[in-house]
């Protein structure tokens, strides 16, 4: 099968750039190339583009433009939120605990662990249920007088589960603890209104919603004081130094606008395809389980485990059959270890090693889903029998 014709079912890893977004970006590579910090007209045009993008992002999340910080992506936003808030809060109040869920993206988890290993913070973990959901009451019980920041992922990249973020945020606000949520997956599919949801810090990344890679934003509400992670010039309210990536910032804002405008119809359509896919897989494949929540999950997200199958082998066979999917975790060939997230939801290694994530996008059709459903069962059987 021609690699270029492989059917793409890995939108949670990255979505292709929308052509309309690229068109909006192009003038800022070409004639409007100026440094937004420059006084002259070239600089002014670049500066105006950034401020217009900032206002559009602010409007989407119902915050003020001063609360939108552009970063190099979801990972950097998570780093700035966790590290920046932890340092700042400790300086002001002495608080040195970080409370996170066990199903965070590595950008949050590894940042928290570095703060523990090298900077004297104490990292504590919430528990999750069998679907990977955090119970708001657990957050209430887990916050201590010296907890600096709480972080709970909005919607999980690996298993698609959506957390009760509004309730969790309300508890943190009431207790005076900063609350961060990694909304990198959620922003592509859910309406997020920070006027109603008292989140202090929220991370997004453009390439998950058909924008360019390497650009993101941290929404930092007014009360959330941060120590910058990247120091230098006064860009981004002195929270993120470095010459602004003007075309990419313009691209992020345009992609977010298009995503928000088409959210309802896209979600409805994808949810129907997703449900057909889940039903078809569970019907045709023995010893298969859906991972993540059956209802409270991203509309484009289906994830499974197949007992006794080798996930990497299955991905290779799917690729040869013309389907680009994922195991859901960053599990590398050669060093197979079960995903922390699948362990956290209670799966034994014999199940967790056989994970498959299928994420749909705007180009996915019912025909594609049916084709996939036909191809998958014999490949799972092979991935079981060929396993070392």
Binding to ligand PLP by residue 105, rule CB under 6 A? yes
**Does 331 qualify as catalytic in the annotation?**
yes
Q: Which is nearer to ligand PLP, 203 or 266 (CB)?
A: 203
Spacing of C-alpha 11 from chain mean position: 11
Compute the least distance from the CB of residue 101 to ligand PLP, in Å: 12
SS (H, E, C) 238-256: HCCCCCCCHHHHHHHHHHH
Q: Which is nearer to ligand PLP, 98 or 313 (CB)?
A: 98
Compute the least distance from the CB of residue 325 to ligand PLP, in Å: 16
Compute the least distance from the CB of residue 153 to ligand PLP, in Å: 6
Separation of alpha carbons 173 and 169, rounded Å: 6
Catalytic residue among 12, 226, 255, 331: 331
Compute the least distance from the CB of residue 366 to ligand PLP, in Å: 26
Q: Which is nearer to ligand PLP, 216 or 299 (CB)?
A: 216
Among 101, 111, 151, 157, binds ligand PLP (CB under 6 A): 157
User: Residue with CB nearest ligand PLP?
Assistant: 74
Q: How many residues does the chain have?
A: 388
| Positions in 209-238 near ligand PLP (CB under 6 A) | 216
Binding to ligand PLP by residue 292, rule CB under 6 A? no
Q: Which is nearer to ligand PLP, 95 or 152 (CB)?
A: 152
Directed axis angle between helix 246-261 and helix 41-61, to 10°? 30
| Positions in 174-213 near ligand PLP (CB under 6 A) | 182, 184-185, 205, 207-208
Separation of alpha carbons 311 and 9, rounded Å: 15
Stretch that binds ligand PLP, among 20-28, 71-79, 189-197, 375-383 (CB under 6 A): 71-79
Q: At 37, give phi and psi (nearest 5°).
A: -85, -5
Q: Which is nearer to ligand PLP, 75 or 312 (CB)?
A: 75
**3-class secondary-structure state, position 15:** coil
Structure tokens at 311: 């996930």
Sorted by sequence, the CB contacts under 8 Å of residue 324 that are 6+ apart come out as 6, 7, 8, 9, 10, 318
Compute the least distance from the CB of residue 2 to ligand PLP, in Å: 27
Q: Which is nearer to ligand PLP, 85 or 383 (CB)?
A: 85
Binding to ligand PLP by residue 75, rule CB under 6 A? yes
Q: Which is nearer to ligand PLP, 75 or 326 (CB)?
A: 75
Separation of alpha carbons 295 and 45, rounded Å: 46
Here's the x/- map for ligand PLP, 30-69, by CB under 6 A: it reads as ----------------------------------------
Binding to ligand PLP by residue 100, rule CB under 6 A? no
Binding to ligand PLP by residue 74, rule CB under 6 A? yes
Binding to ligand PLP by residue 107, rule CB under 6 A? yes
Separation of alpha carbons 316 and 324, rounded Å: 9
Say if residues 15 and 9 touch (Cβ distance below 8 Å). no
Separation of alpha carbons 248 and 220, rounded Å: 20
> The tokens 């990292």 sit on which residue?
123
Residues touching ligand PLP: how many (CB under 6 A)? 15
For the chain, percent helix, then strand, then coil, each to nearest 5?
45, 15, 40
**3-class secondary-structure state, position 274:** helix
Separation of alpha carbons 147 and 143, rounded Å: 6
For residues 305, 186, 77 and 152, what is the CA-based torsion angle, rounded to 10 degrees? -70
Say if residues 305 and 384 touch (Cβ distance below 8 Å). no
Binding to ligand PLP by residue 73, rule CB under 6 A? yes
Binding to ligand PLP by residue 291, rule CB under 6 A? no
Compute the least distance from the CB of residue 216 to ligand PLP, in Å: 5
Q: Which is nearer to ligand PLP, 256 or 379 (CB)?
A: 256
Catalytic positions are: 331
Q: Which residues bind ligand PLP (CB under 6 A)?
A: 73-75, 78, 105, 107, 153, 157, 182, 184-185, 205, 207-208, 216
């Amino acid at each position: 099968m021609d690699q270029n014709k492989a059917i793409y079912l890995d939108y949670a890893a990255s979505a292709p750039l929308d052509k309309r977004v690229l068109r909006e970006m192009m003038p800022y590579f070409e004639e409007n190339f100026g440094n937004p910090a420059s006084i002259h007209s070239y600089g002014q045009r670049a500066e105006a583009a950034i401020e217009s993008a900032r206002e559009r992002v602010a409007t989407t999340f119902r915050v003020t433009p001063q609360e939108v910080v552009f970063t190099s992506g979801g990972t950097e936003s998570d780093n700035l939120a966790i590290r920046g808030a932890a340092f700042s809060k400790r300086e002001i109040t002495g608080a040195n605990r970080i409370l996170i869920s066990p199903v965070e993206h590595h950008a949050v988890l590894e940042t928290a662990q570095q703060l523990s290993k090298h900077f004297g913070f104490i990292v504590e973990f919430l528990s999750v249920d069998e679907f990977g959901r955090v119970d708001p009451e657990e957050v209430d019980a887990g916050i201590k007088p010296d907890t600096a920041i709480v972080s709970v992922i909005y919607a999980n990249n690996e298993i698609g589960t959506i957390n009760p973020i509004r309730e969790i945020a309300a508890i943190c606000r009431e207790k005076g603890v900063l609350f961060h949520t990694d909304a990198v997956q959620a922003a592509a599919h859910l309406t997020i209104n920070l006027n109603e949801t008292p989140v202090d810090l929220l991370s997004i990344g453009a390439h998950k919603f058909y924008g360019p890679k390497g650009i993101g934003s941290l929404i930092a509400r007014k009360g959330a004081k941060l120590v910058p992670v990247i120091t230098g010039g006064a860009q981004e309210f002195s929270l993120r130094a470095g010459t602004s990536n003007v075309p990419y910032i313009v691209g992020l804002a345009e992609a977010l606008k298009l995503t928000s405008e088409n959210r309802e119809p896209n979600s409805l359509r994808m949810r129907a395809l997703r449900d057909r896919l889940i039903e078809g897989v569970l019907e045709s494949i023995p010893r298969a389980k859906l991972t993540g929540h059956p209802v409270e999950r991203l509309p484009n997200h289906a994830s499974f485990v197949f007992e006794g199958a080798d996930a990497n082998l299955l991905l290779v066979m799917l690729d040869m059959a013309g389907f680009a999917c994922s195991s859901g975790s960053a599990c590398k060939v050669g060093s197979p270890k079960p995903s922390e997230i699948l362990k956290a939801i209670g799966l034994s290694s014999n199940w967790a090693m056989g994970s498959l994530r299928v994420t749909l996008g705007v180009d996915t059709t019912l025909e594609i889903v049916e084709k996939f459903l036909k191809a998958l069962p014999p490949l799972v059987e092979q991935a079981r029998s060929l396993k070392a």
